[in-house]
Amino acid sequence: MTTSTTTASPLVGAIDQGTTSSRFILFDTTGNIVASHQMEHDQIQSEPGWCEHDPNQIWDTVHECIAKTMEQVPDAVVSAIGITNQRETSLLWDKVTGQPVYNALVWHDMRTSDIVHELLQGHDINRFRATTGLPLATYFSAVKIMWLLRHVPGLRAKADAGDVLFGTIDTWLLWKLSGGAVHATDVSNASRTNLMDLHTLQWSDGTVSRSCLYMVISFMMLGPMDWLIDCMQYSHRL
């Protein structure tokens, strides 16, 4: 951890949400690290080959990392924040309450092997590659969504009613950071779902209900970061 007690120029923040930990880093205009904080989060492995993450714990660790980093530079002016994340890890949450309907299924979770085998019947591993650029595999979000819809009681009905939202970890963090105002991702994350059409850079027709999908963007400006930093310091309002 690098610590500075004062800074004069605007800083850029980076949320790094990975498979085993979350961290927040502040950089100056020359790319030097001014301050950072990192926290590990749990690996939930209830069955062989399974791995889940608690979405609320992920948010809590990101929230605390931002707060702890900002404590190191209380006079900092943060001009922008970026997110880098474990891309294929996927979750669904209630559109009204904002609460996850189940833990996030981690990218290397293997519970969807049977679904992949089912989708391969009469087809080969490249069934969707021409559209999505990806093979059929347990790695990607599409089959994780299918598993959740089949195994979480009542979820299919809620999804059909438009009351469920899907996201990779970047989308979940944007949702939480914006207080539920932003449901979006970028092309990099969307390209790892096996749901995005590489030719249009939008969701592929006929893959999954668009009511639970989010906006695909190549760039987005959320505006001044003052409101975000204010929310992050010593509070749990979001």
Distance separating alpha carbons of residues 5 and 76, to the nearest angstrom: 9
116: its two tokens:
């992949």
- Find the helix or strand (DSSP H, E) in which 159 lies: helix 155-160
237 part of a folded domain: no
State the alpha helices, DSSP H only, in 14-80: 55-72
| Residue 149, CA distances (Å) to 29, 212, 225 in order | 45, 12, 36
User: Per residue of the chain (238 residues), what is the pLDDT tens digit?
Assistant: 444 445 568 999 999 999 999 999 999 999 999 999 999 999 999 999 999 999 999 999 999 999 999 999 998 899 999 999 998 999 999 999 999 999 999 999 999 999 999 989 988 999 889 989 999 999 999 999 999 999 999 998 888 888 899 999 999 999 999 999 888 888 889 999 998 888 888 888 755 555 445 544 444 433 333 333 333 332 333 3
125 part of a folded domain: yes
Neighbours of 16 (CB within 10 A): 18
5 part of a folded domain: no
Which CATH number belongs to the domain containing residue 124 in this structure?
Answer: 3.30.420.40
1 part of a folded domain: no
72 part of a folded domain: yes
How many structural domains compose the chain? 1
Neighbours of 13 (CB within 10 A): 25
DSSP 212: G
Distance separating alpha carbons of residues 41 and 237, to the nearest angstrom: 21
41 part of a folded domain: yes
Rounded to a whole number of angstroms, the CA Rg of the chain reads 19
To the nearest 10 degrees (0 to 180), the angle between helices 141-151 and 113-120 is 110
Q: Containing domain of residue 61, as a range?
A: 11-232
6 part of a folded domain: no
17 part of a folded domain: yes
